Amino acid sequence: MNNKETFDFRDKIFSELYQVFKKDKNCILLTNDMGAIGLDILKRKFKKRVINCGISEQNIISLAGGLASEKRHVFIYGIISHLIFRGLEQIKIDLCLDALPVTIIGVGAGLSYGVDGPTHHGIEDIGVLQCLPNMNIFNPSDYVSAIASLKYAYNKKITSLIRLDKEKLPSLYKNQKKFYPLKVFGQSKQLAIITTGITTRTGLDLIKPLKEMGIPTMLIDVIKLSPFPVEKIRKIIKNTKSIVTIDENMKNSSIERFIYSCLNNAENCFVKNFNLKDKFIFGSASRKWVWNRYNLSKEKILDYIALNKKKLNEK
Amino acid sequence: MSKTNKINYSFKSKFIRQEIFKTALKAKKGHIPPAYSWVENAVVLFYTKIFNFFKKKDIFILSKGHGCLTLYVVLADLGLISKKSLYSFGGDGSLLPGHPDTKINKIENCSGSLGHGLGVACGKSLSLKMRKSSNHVIVLLGDGECQEGSIWEACIFAAHNKLNNLIAIIDRNKLSATNFTEKIGALEPLDKKFKSFGWNTFVINGHNYNDIYKTFIKAKKSKKPVCIISNTIKGKGIKFMENKKEWHHQIPNKKQILTAMKELKIDKLYE
């Protein structure tokens, strides 16, 4: 399941899109002058249906709305932060109001572009988009769940954002036919760790040392963040003593916003949220550096749990 | 156009202005002057055979959503929405809000926020071209709307992708919501701007049926996207509203109502 070979999310997604484009002549891809190896291959084969619209995010979203309203499925590829924030009103009006089949494939989830500065960070977009009815947000943790998200969004003809990490990462899942909005690792009534995207890897790395500390742990990887699977999570974590969420997003864009709705008896449950708080991150900020600073690293989280082991067990 | 047609068109314009006034007065809300400025364009668009809207052939996009009363009246006149719906305009739970949305029969886009329509129109034009359709997409823009950056993004896209099935009509009434466009953010020379972006540009008298008619015919044969700068008067038809910056969405008082009714030849308002 978890081998060491790493994969580029983008190339895997474009390779899947190649198959989709081959079957469906109504598929179109628009980009704001972003490149990727897989995209070049797609462009070579489907020249007329892969369009570089130039750096014009507002127009790209409206354009996608116009195309989708004429029974096309439109994919938009670009950096998350630029597409979502520059095109936000267009997303609301030209896509979400009519729930049009447009899939935004956004690269740069979380701090993928950490060193490129706050203009490139994808850490606030989820919170903003979660407010929009008809918007579906996928935050896959590996290429397999990314492809499953893409297929789901395409087959269901929904308005969606699929957030891709820029890092090359090993796969976590086996190829799957069905889409799962969340995946569960292990079982435990003592501690449930809830993660999404890149932090699922941190969560998985914590299971073994926590077991050695005498804390059996369950991990929930939330792939579909909007609509948030509240009921599903509520059932899974029923009677669990402690919950830890780990999320590489700002507080208002993180799992923390929803976790308390998932609890049946909040007063009997110990909850600790690890995320990026609500401050912009200035300067060059690599993932490793930020994770240490904001206590998101495996080591910092382990330290916290070790210090608070008593509290975790008390509840 | 024959003389008879001309008379019919004048009759239709008069009818549309009367209905807009009565509808807005009943609701005690609505943008009368920006609806009045494009009435003649609407008559040639929807009552001649140059274009064929509403049967999934040519496509009309109203980008300046605040001009919607004209479109609502036309839709009701053509039987595409009920008269009852029209008279409920702006009321609680009415199908017809102050800016149109896609829940209304034959409305292609949700408008109200400006600068969206041209981009959406580009998407529809591109789709038609990919389908090798000979139909056209006509989008009506406000002139103040041309201060939006997204308009110029769409402008570059349309020219670069040779969307010669796209016709943008700019309702050039020179007034934005609170003042003259040239006093807020000068747009002139607007025709040269579109031309330099690679569009075919026409400047017309937007209250002259012949001018509008002939330009639409020419526009259909263009090898490039077309911009028609339709010089109009905001509030055209009610003298005290014409070309006045105070009249964007104001509703007249009792005395003004009587003056307007006389000018529009309205005997009775809707109750």
Sorting pLDDT into bands at 50, 70 and 90, what band is A1? Answer: very low
Per-residue model confidence as pLDDT tens digits over A274-308: 999 999 999 999 999 999 999 999 999 999 999 99
- Name the nearest CA neighbour of A6 among A166, A164, A173, A168: A168
Q: Are B69 and B16 in contact (CB under 8 A)?
A: no
Residue recorded with tokens 């999310």: A9
Tokens for A173, please give them. 């899942």
Using a CB-CB cut-off of 8 Å, the residues of chain B touching A51 are: 161
Instruction: Return the residue in A57, A62, A71, A73 with the most chain B beta carbons within 10 A, the one to mutate for interface testing.
Output: A62
Domain stop point among A116, A141, A170 = A170
3-state helix, strand, coil in chain B (%, to 5): 45, 10, 45
* For residue B7, pLDDT beyond 70: no
Side-chain half-sphere CA neighbours of A291 within 13 A: 18
Q: What is the structure's pLDDT at A272?
A: 95
- Name the nearest CA neighbour of B74 among B63, B65, B83: B83
CATH number at residue A212: 3.40.50.920
* A48 closest CB neighbour out of B102, B108, B130: B130
Tokens for A166, please give them. 């820029």
Per-residue model confidence as pLDDT tens digits over B180-218: 999 999 999 999 999 999 999 999 999 999 999 999 999
Taking an 8 Å cut-off on Cβ atoms, the answer to whether A54 and B161 are in contact is: no
Domain stop point among A127, A142, A170 = A170
Q: How far is CA B133 from CA A277, B43, B160, B165, in A?
A: 52, 25, 19, 9
Mean pLDDT, rounded, for B262-267: 96
Sorting pLDDT into bands at 50, 70 and 90, what band is B1? Answer: low
A166 and A37 both lie in a single domain:
yes
Q: What is the structure's pLDDT at A2?
A: 47
Q: What is the structure's pLDDT at A312?
A: 77
A176, part of any domain: no
A177, part of any domain: no
A1, part of any domain: no
A35 and A137 both lie in a single domain:
yes
Say how far apart CA B121 and CA B137 lie, in whole Å: 6
A48 and A128 both lie in a single domain:
yes
A222, part of any domain: yes
Taking an 8 Å cut-off on Cβ atoms, the answer to whether A56 and B156 are in contact is: yes
Tokens for A209, please give them. 């040392």
Tokens for A306, please give them. 């070790």
Q: How many domains does chain A have?
A: 2
Q: What is the structure's pLDDT at A268?
A: 83
A152 and A233 both lie in a single domain:
no
For A55, the domain range is: 6-170
Per-residue model confidence as pLDDT tens digits over B81-94: 999 999 999 999 99
Average pLDDT, chain A: 95
Average pLDDT, chain B: 95
Q: With respect to CATH, is domain B3-264 assigned 3.40.50.970?
A: yes
Q: What is the structure's pLDDT at B55?
A: 80
A50 and A145 both lie in a single domain:
yes
Say how far apart CA B206 and CA A193 lie, in whole Å: 65
Longest C-alpha distance within chain A, in Å?
A: 63
The amino acid present at B22, given as its one-letter code, is K
| Residue B212, SS3 per DSSP | helix
Mean pLDDT, rounded, for B61-68: 98
Taking an 8 Å cut-off on Cβ atoms, the answer to whether B120 and A65 are in contact is: yes
Per-residue model confidence as pLDDT tens digits over B125-175: 999 999 999 999 999 999 999 999 999 999 999 999 999 999 999 999 999
* For residue B2, pLDDT beyond 60: no
Per-residue model confidence as pLDDT tens digits over A154-188: 999 999 999 999 999 999 999 888 899 999 999 99
Mean pLDDT, rounded, for B245-256: 93
A152 and A214 both lie in a single domain:
no
| Residues 16 through 75 of chain A touching chain B, CB cutoff 8 Å | 48-49, 51, 53-54, 56, 58-59, 61-72
- pTM comes to 0.95
CA distance B208 to chain A (A): 31
* For residue A205, pLDDT beyond 80: yes
* For residue B12, pLDDT beyond 80: yes
A142 and A162 both lie in a single domain:
yes
Mean pLDDT, rounded, for B74-79: 97
Domain stop point among A170, A193, A223 = A170
Taking an 8 Å cut-off on Cβ atoms, the answer to whether B116 and A59 are in contact is: no
* B116 closest CB neighbour out of A51, A62, A71: A62
Q: Please, what is the Cα angle at A17 between A12 and A20, to 5 degrees?
A: 140
Q: What is the structure's pLDDT at A264?
A: 79
- Name the nearest CA neighbour of B109 among B64, B49, B155: B64
Q: Are A199 and A169 in contact (CB under 8 A)?
A: no
Say how far apart CA A298 and CA A293 lie, in whole Å: 12
A159 and A12 both lie in a single domain:
yes
Cβ atoms within 10 Å, residue A29: 24
* For residue A3, pLDDT beyond 60: no
A125 and A254 both lie in a single domain:
no
A151, part of any domain: yes
Instruction: Return the residue in A26, A28, A70 with the most chain B beta carbons within 10 A, the one to mutate for interface testing.
Output: A70
Q: Are B206 and B171 in contact (CB under 8 A)?
A: yes
A188 and A151 both lie in a single domain:
no
- List, in sequence order, every beta strand (DSSP E) within chain A: 6-7, 27-31, 50-52, 73-79, 102-107, 135-138, 159-164, 169-170, 182-185, 191-195, 217-222, 224-226, 242-246, 270-274
Whether A90 and chain B come into contact, CB under 8 Å, resolves to: yes
Mean pLDDT, rounded, for A208-233: 96
Per-residue model confidence as pLDDT tens digits over A42-94: 999 999 999 999 999 999 999 999 999 999 999 999 999 999 999 999 999 99
What is the residue extent of each domain of chain B?
Answer: 3-264
ipTM (interface predicted TM)? 0.94
Mean pLDDT, rounded, for B2-27: 87
Taking an 8 Å cut-off on Cβ atoms, the answer to whether B116 and A56 are in contact is: no
A153 and A29 both lie in a single domain:
yes
Using a CB-CB cut-off of 8 Å, the residues of chain B touching A97 are: 101-102, 110
Whether A132 and chain B come into contact, CB under 8 Å, resolves to: no
Q: Are A64 and B123 in contact (CB under 8 A)?
A: yes
Residue recorded with tokens 């598929």: A27
Whether B65 and chain A come into contact, CB under 8 Å, resolves to: no
Q: What is the structure's pLDDT at A179?
A: 95
Say how far apart CA A66 and CA B118 lie, in whole Å: 10
A289, part of any domain: yes
Per-residue model confidence as pLDDT tens digits over A131-158: 999 999 999 999 999 999 999 999 999 9
Q: What are phi and psi of B3, to 5 degrees?
A: -60, -40
CA distance A47 to chain B (A): 12
Please, what sign has the CA dihedral across residues A247, A249, A252, A254? negative
Whether B129 and chain A come into contact, CB under 8 Å, resolves to: no
Q: What is the structure's pLDDT at B5?
A: 60
Separation of first and last alpha carbons in chain A: 34
Q: Are B150 and B141 in contact (CB under 8 A)?
A: no
Size of interface A-B (CB pairs under 8 A): 86
A106 and A18 both lie in a single domain:
yes
